[in-house]
Amino acid sequence: MRTFVDNAGRTWTVAVNVDAIKRVRTLCNVNLLEIVEGDLLGRLANDPILLCDVLYAVCKPELDAKGVSDEDFGRAMGGDVIEAATAAFLEEMVGFFPSPKRAVLAKALGKLRVLEERALRAVETRLDDPRLLAEVEEQLAALETAATPAGG
């Protein structure tokens, strides 16, 4: 079992087992078993709202015991907490599957992390490029020219 701490300072235990997978399927209409062969891994990585809904369902027994609502949980999820919760959840998912699927999921997870790092570096490089500002200013000038009424 993995844990993460939300922005309210509460520690949550992420335990992926058959009960949790059934609960996610019922509450979120998400089949966690599709994480190996489907596009679910990408969806969870790119949709923090879906991820938080899944985490809520996984942690629901503990949330209920502590009297924390879905809304309260959501309010305490943001920033680095989402990254920590994602890591805890994905590591638990990898551990849930038997050996052959575990290896495939671990490999897919590793590739996803590499691609995310490359994408972030590419965006940073583009933002640091001085030509970007010149291009934006040129496009804004063109928009202003196009928006100016004829004869005005």
* pLDDT one digit per residue (tens) for the chain, 152 residues: 999 999 999 999 999 999 999 999 999 999 998 887 778 888 888 899 999 999 999 999 999 999 999 999 999 999 999 999 998 998 898 888 877 777 777 776 777 777 767 877 888 888 888 888 888 888 888 888 887 776 65
b or e along 5-43 (b: 16 or more beta carbons within 10 Å of the residue's beta carbon)? ebeeeeebebbbeeebbebbeeebebebbebbeeebbee
